Amino acid sequence: MSSPVHLAREGAVALIRVDNPPVNALGQPVRAGLLEAFAAAEADAQIKVVVLLCAGTTFIAGADIREFGKPPQAPFLVDVTQAIENFNKPSLAVIHGSALGGGLEIALACHYRIARRNARLGLPEVNLGLLPGAGGTQRLPRLAGVAVALDMIVGGEPITADEAERNGIVDQVFEGELLSAALAFAEQLLVRGTGPRRTGEADVPVVATANNASLLETKRDEVQRSLPGLFSPLRCIAAIEAATVLPLAEGLKREGMLFQECLQSPQRLALVHKFFAERKAGKIKGLDSAVETRPVASVAVIGGGTMGVGIALSLASAGLSVKLLELDADRLATALQRATDTLGKSVRRGSLSEQAMRQRLALIEGVTDYAALAEVDLAIEAVFEDIAAKQAVFEALDRVCKPGAILASNTSSLDLDRIAAFTRRPQDVVGLHFFSPANVMRLLEVVRGAQTSDSVLASAMQLGKRLKKIAVVVGVCDGFVGNRMALSYVREAELLVQEGASVQRVDGALREFGMAMGPFAMLDMSGLDIWQSMRQRQRATLGAGQRLPNLLDRLCAVGRFGQKSGAGFYLYPDGSRTPQPDLELVELLDELSSCPQLDIDPQSLWQRPLYALINEGARILEEGIAQRASDIDVIFLTGYGFPAQRGGPMFYADQLGLDKVLQCIRGYHRCFGANWQPAPLLERLVAEGKTFAELDQQG
C-alpha cells in the first residue's frame, strides 16, 4: 500500500504532502509517513527548509477518530509532534481548510505556520470527551497565552486564521494558492538563514504568574457551574495548568496521563458515537447517490408566527431570499417586527453585527398575496397545527407555485400523506419539522411521505446542511420520531406526578440525569396545547388496558398553556421565562388526580420516563419510522436536550445492557399494565444477545 505522505523537492525546499482523504486524519500510516518524510528531509544535505502541506480540501483535521478504543499502534502522535519539533531544519506548516485537534498539534510542533484566510484552527477534542493529547495543551499556552488556550481547548470552538494571527498562533495569513504562498515564505526563511524556532523552548511569557492561576480558577468555577457532570473539561484545565508550572517534557507527561483518563471514560465513547451518528444521519438508505437535487434560491414561508419567523430568519442567515406570507397587512407588520426584535436581541447580546442584521432583514420580504409565491423554489408552511388550516395552505400553494417547486410542511405531528393529498403533486411534498426557536435549534426532522420523490428528499437534506442544521430523515406517524417518543416520556413523568411525586422532584431527577431541562419545564416552554392535541389523538387510538394521564388536559382546560399564558406546570409571572413552583398546583393536582398515591422510589423518577422513551424508540425503529437507532440518538441529542455525554437514549440503553432494560420494562409491565408492553424488537434483540448498535451495523 502506498504511503499517504509524499516527499518532493523544490530546490532547497522539501515539500511533505499528506494525502489521506477525506480529511487527512492522522491514522497510523500518516503518522509513520510523517516521521519517515521528516527524517528523509533532515538526512538530505541539499534540503534547507521543510514545508508540510495537505492535498484536498483541508489541512489535517485531527487524529483518526475511528482508532480510539482500538489497540494503540506506534508511532504515537505525541512522539511524532515531539520529533517534528526536534528536527534541526526549520519547518513550516501551510494550513488551509481546517487544522483541528492533532492536525493543529502537528502545526504547533512545526517551527513556523501560515494559514489561508478562510482556514479554521481549533482543538475540539473536548467535544469528543478528550483533551489534546499530542502537546496541544503545552504548546498553545506557550504561544498564545493561558486565556486563549483555555477558550480554545475548553470551549472546543475553532478560530479564524485572522484570530490565530492576532494571537501569535500563525505567522502570516495568505490568500490564494497554497504552494506559491508556501514557497514564498520558505524563500524568506532561506534568505534570512532562519533556523528552527521551537515552541517548547520558547520563553513562556505567562508561566506561573498569579494572573494565570486566577484565569485557571475562574475557568474551573465556570465549568463546574455550566457543564456539571462532564469529565474532560476539568482535565483540559488541569493539563493547561501543567504548562504554566512544568517544563515541556514533564508537561507532556502530565497531558498524556490526563488524555488516557479521558480515553478510558464512558463519556468519550458516547461523544464519539454522537460524532459519527450525526454524520451517518445525512445518509439516506435506498437513495441513489446520483439523484439530482433541485436548486433552492428563493423560499416562501407561510405564517408569520414564532415558528414561521424563526424559519424565515434561519433561511435568511444562510443567504436565501424569503417571502414571508401573512393573511393581512396588520399580521404581516407584527411578523416583520418580530423578526426585527429577534435579531435586535442578538445584536444587543453582541452575537450579531448591525450590518449582518440589516443584511438578513433585507432578504425577508413581507407579502399578503399567494400570487407573489409563483416563482419560489420552495414553500414552507408554518401555520398552526390544524388539518383544515393546512389544507387551505396546500391547495393555494398547489394553485400558484411553479412546477417543480418543493412544497414543505412544518407540521410537528400531523399526517404528511394527508397533507400531500391536498395537492396534485404529492411527489413534491416533504415535511420540514423545525424545532423552536427555529433560527437557533440545530435539529431538522425531514419527513419522507409515501410519495415524496427522491430528488425532493435529497434537496431537503441539502437545505438542512446549508442552514447548518442536523437533518434526520423520519417516516410518517403521529409526532414523527421526536414528539412521538417524547409523548411516552412525558406520559410517565405526568403519571409519576399523579401518583404523588412533585413536578419539581421529577424535573429535578431528570436534570440530575443530565437533561437540559425537566419534562414539565419543557412542556411549559413548548406550549401545553400542542401536546394536548397529540394526546387527544392518542386517546382515540388507545389499546386495551393502556392509560394516559389527564393532568396536562386539565391544566389546558383552566387556561394554563405554559410559558405563553403565564402558567402551566409552573408559574411565569410578568412574562418571565424562569419556572417558579406553584404551591396552588399541589391542591389542583390533589383534586384532579384519581390515581392511588404511591411511595415512589427516587430511581423511578428518572428511570420510568427514560425507559418509556427507549421502549417507544424500539417500536419506531421496528416500524421503519427511523432509519437507524443512531438517528434517534441524534434527534434527542440535538432537539430534546438529551445529555451528549450519554450518547442518546438508544446508545444509553446499549450501555446499560438491553437485557437489564428489558427486565426493568417487564417489571413495570407487571406493575403498571399495558403501557409497558415491551417492544417486540427489544425482546428480539435480547433473545439474540444483540445491541441497537449491532442492528444499525447490519444496515
Q: 210: closest CA among 245, 238, 178, 158?
A: 245
Q: 658: closest CA among 682, 681, 634?
A: 682
Among residues 209 and 260, whose Cβ is nearest to ligand 3H9? Answer: 260
Tell me how many degrees the CA angle 458-463-468 measures, rounded to the nearest 5. 130
125 is catalytic: yes
Distance from C-alpha of 268 to C-alpha of 272, rounded to nearest angstrom: 6
Q: What region, left, alpha or beta, does residue 283 occupy, with left being phi > 0 and alpha being psi -120 to 50 degrees?
A: beta
Distance from C-alpha of 316 to C-alpha of 446, rounded to nearest angstrom: 19
Cα-Cα-Cα-Cα torsion 282, 285, 288, 293, nearest 10 degrees, comes to -40
CA–CA distance from 586 to each of 280, 503, 555, 570, 600 (Å)? 45, 9, 12, 11, 17
Among residues 279 and 547, whose Cβ is nearest to ligand 3H9? Answer: 279
Q: Which amino acid is at 101?
A: G
Query: CB of residue 26 vs ligand 3H9: minimum separation in angstroms?
Result: 7
**Annotated catalytic residue, options 42, 85, 125, 222:** 125
Among residues 20 and 410, whose Cβ is nearest to ligand 3H9? Answer: 20
Beta strands in 335-404 (DSSP E): 364-367, 378-381
Among residues 27 and 437, whose Cβ is nearest to ligand 3H9? Answer: 27
Cell of 343: 435579531
Sign of CA dihedral 663, 666, 672, 675: positive
**Annotated catalytic residue, options 42, 67, 85, 105:** 105
Query: CB of residue 101 vs ligand 3H9: minimum separation in angstroms?
Result: 2
Query: What is the distance, to the nearest Å, from the Cα of residue 378 to the centroid of all Cα atoms in its chain?
Result: 25
CA–CA distance from 531 to each of 57, 303, 391, 488 (Å)? 45, 20, 21, 11
- Write the DSSP assignment of 153-180 as a string of letters: HHH---EEHHHHHHTTS-SEEE-S-HHH
Among residues 30 and 401, whose Cβ is nearest to ligand 3H9? Answer: 30
Q: Which amino acid is at 548?
A: L
* Cis peptide, bond prior to residue 579, ω within 30 of zero: no
Query: CB of residue 202 vs ligand 3H9: minimum separation in angstroms?
Result: 20
Among residues 130 and 152, whose Cβ is nearest to ligand 3H9? Answer: 130
> Which residues are paired to 75 by β-bridges?
none
250 is catalytic: no
Among residues 81 and 498, whose Cβ is nearest to ligand 3H9? Answer: 81
DSSP alpha helix (H) spans, 50-174: 77-86, 102-109, 136-144, 146-155, 161-166
Report yes or no: 122 and 158 within 8 Å, Cβ to Cβ: yes
Among residues 58 and 452, whose Cβ is nearest to ligand 3H9? Answer: 58
Report yes or no: 64 and 4 within 8 Å, Cβ to Cβ: no
The H or E element containing residue 538 is helix 528-540
CA–CA distance from 455 to each of 290, 322, 406, 459, 462 (Å)? 10, 22, 10, 6, 10
Query: CB of residue 287 vs ligand 3H9: minimum separation in angstroms?
Result: 15
Among residues 102 and 482, whose Cβ is nearest to ligand 3H9? Answer: 102
Distance from C-alpha of 86 to C-alpha of 454, rounded to nearest angstrom: 54
Query: CB of residue 67 vs ligand 3H9: minimum separation in angstroms?
Result: 8
Distance from C-alpha of 78 to C-alpha of 698, rounded to nearest angstrom: 36
CA–CA distance from 218 to each of 151, 212, 213, 252, 390 (Å)? 12, 10, 9, 24, 52
Query: CB of residue 137 vs ligand 3H9: minimum separation in angstroms?
Result: 9
Query: CB of residue 131 vs ligand 3H9: minimum separation in angstroms?
Result: 7
Query: CB of residue 77 vs ligand 3H9: minimum separation in angstroms?
Result: 4
Among residues 101 and 648, whose Cβ is nearest to ligand 3H9? Answer: 101
Query: CB of residue 64 vs ligand 3H9: minimum separation in angstroms?
Result: 5
Neighbours of 654 (CB within 10 A): 24
Query: CB of residue 263 vs ligand 3H9: minimum separation in angstroms?
Result: 8
Contacts with ligand 3H9, residue ranges (CB under 6 A): 22-23, 25, 58, 61-66, 77, 98, 100-102, 105, 124-125, 128, 130, 132-134, 136, 279
Query: CB of residue 109 vs ligand 3H9: minimum separation in angstroms?
Result: 12
Among residues 98 and 593, whose Cβ is nearest to ligand 3H9? Answer: 98
Q: Point out the residues that are catalytic.
A: 105, 125
